[in-house]
Structure formats: structure tokens, C-alpha cells
Chain A
Amino acid sequence: MATIVPSIACLGVIGRNNNPLHLTILPSYNPSSASAITSDPEKQQQPATTISASTTASSAATGASPLRTPLQFSLLLSSTLDIFELRARAHAASGTGALSGDLGLLCAVDERLACYGYETNTGVRFVAVVDMRGRLLDPTLPSTTLIHGAIPETDRSSGGGAGNTGAAGGGAGTGTGTTGDDTSGLVNLPSLPPLSGIGILSPTSSSTTVTTSSSFIPGTSSRKPSLVASIASASTGLRDAELKPLFKAMQTSWVRLLQNPFFDLDEHVLPGGRGGRKITSKKFGEDMRRLGMGWIPGVGGFEGF
């Protein structure tokens, strides 16, 4: 049973002067290009044995690409600025004021893309463009088997990321598991081929994972349904709170950038009120990429953030 879950298509950081500071574009799972690979639903029971390293590699290579061009994403971020301003003005007019900087859903672009926003107290804005069908999640495989672009899931966190993700999902699933009833219809999206049993494995570790996963599944089968339930329920509609950990982590990364003595904020957000240079820090870019890849709805918390 493979599930399509939301993923991050693009992360943007906008400065106080409405100037772009950073843009990270992430690949989305694309069913049309991956449709050549289908597997028999009967084989779901032994997923670990049906996978060969070659099919996973090809699915990883063909099944993911950015949904839009960088320019289109950039324009999308620009268009969110109006919404930020509109919300701020609405809050000022009502006199209540926003309680937190989390603005939630800014706009839904089409049936796949939606923009979520967060504004820090210092006026820096983070925008996450979510692709509602950007990732193929196969619960029959260990929790590392998430299709999200061609980048191996080892990016998420080094070492014991697999165990951590599963445990976190189990915890979240107990809270949201009751809402997981209506998700069965969603799993079988008509436009999607039955893509069960296909997971992404890093090319180097694919063989070892396949051999170990058969022994891994029975031990974790108890908590796997809850993970699926929590994630699948999230895919029916994303709640604003599910992006909060991401925004918090982005802000942590931003604060860390400011703690770099070679980073001069005034260069990037000119005091005069207009313009500023983009962020060139490689570490910040890597952080953004890692956060974008690692975000799964309902699974909160990022290691090291």
C-alpha cells in the first residue's frame, strides 16, 4: 500500500525589505514519469524480496523533478508578499494583532501546490511551498523508504534516522489515529498506478537494506500502521500546525546564520529599507535542503534543530 503524501517543493526566505534572501527548490515525486514501473499488488506481502536495486534506482532517477521552474517559484514567492502584507494590515485594522508569526496557509496555487508562511518578529519571512502529492510513501518498507526526489533518505539525518522517524511517527499516530478512517479512498487515487513496493534506497546501501528489511518488518509492524494513519490523515488536508516544526527549524538555521561572525545582516537587509544581497552561505543552503527533504506531515521535530 503506497501512499502519496505532501512534500516540500520549495523553501524561500524573504528579508525585511521584501528582498529575496534564499530559495531552495526540491524535486517532487512525479507519477507520470514513474508510471512505467508498476508492480503486482499481490506482491505487497513480500515487498523486500520483490524489489531489485535496478528498479528502485530507475524510479528514483525518473520519478522526481521540480514541479516548476526556478523563475516560477520565485514569482510565486513574490506573490505571497502581498498576502503577508494583507494579513498584517487586517490584524492592525482589527486591533487584535496576531499572536504568533505563523500565518498558516497563504494561498493555494492549484490542486497540488500551496504556500504556507511564517514571519519572525524581526520581519524575516519564511515561505514553504508544499506539493500536496509530492512524495510516495511506502509503508510496507522500513521508514527510510520514502520517495522524494533522487536524493537518498540518508540526507535526513546521519545514523539512526530510520528508528527515530518510526518512533516519532508512532507517537504522532496515537494522537491523530482516530481520523485515519477516511483515508482508504485516498490511497487508491485513480490517476495513480499501483506503485506499491517501490521505495528509494540509496545506491550504496540498497542491497544491505533489502536483506535486512525482511527481518526488520515484523518487529516494527505494530507501530507502522499508526505511522501510516497519521501521515495518510495528514494528506487529506494539511493543517497549519504541521508546518510549524519546519518553520521553527528554519528559524533556528537563520539564527545560526546570524551567529556566524562573517555574516553581516546589514548587507543582506539594507537599513535604508530597500534591497539587500542574497544569502550565499553554503551551510544555510544545505540546512534548508535537508529540512525540506526531511519534512513529513505529522512527524514533528528535526534532529539538530
Chain B
Amino acid sequence: MEFLVASAIGVLTAAGMYLVLRLRTFPVIMGMSLLTYAVNVFLFASGRLTVGAPPILGDGATYTDPLPQALVLTAIVISFGMTAVIVMIALGAYLGADDDRVDDPKPQDETPTKIEDAP
């Protein structure tokens, strides 16, 4: 079971990384989402895997580690906020420039910006 979870984290990370390296915004957003899953599961797994012992106090004698769960819960919600902001930025860039490429054109060294006022 540990192997399954670890390999799932690995597959999610690899796929996420591959998509993050693409050149258009939408695949990058998809890749970030996959990385988010990977990171959340990774953090969650730092409490080690326990089956059938949710951290709800009751008759049970053992409970799984509640702390990573609390951390990951807020992480899931925050990652929604983050995804939404990135999507909005990507959308704004696309609507503004009619282009959804991720990379900037090369900066031009020939035209330095003005730094000194004319005396």
C-alpha cells in the first residue's frame, strides 16, 4: 500500500512537472493542479498511512495523526484560491494580448530604460 501511494505521488509529480514545462498557459495550470494534488498527498502521507482510524475521538484506542490533515485541509482550500488567481492572470494576459504563451520574448539590451533625469 505504501508503494502504491508513493508511486501515485511520483506519477502525479512527474505529470505535473511535464505539463508545467509546456509553453501555453492552460497546460501549465493543469500541471500546477497535478502538482498540488501531489504535494497535498505528500504532506498528508507525512502522518503515515492508517486505515480505519479517523481522528474522531470515540471508542477507538488508536487514531491517525490529525495534524497533517488539518494542514492539508487549509492547503486544499488555499490552492483553490491560488489556482483561481493564476487562471485569472492567464486569462487577463490572453485577452489583453491575444496570446497565451508562457515565455516572454527576449528582453532587448539595446534600449536601456532611462534612469537619469536630464540635467
A-B complex is real: no
Interface of A toward B, CB cutoff 8 Å? none
B residues apposed to A, CB below 8 Å: none
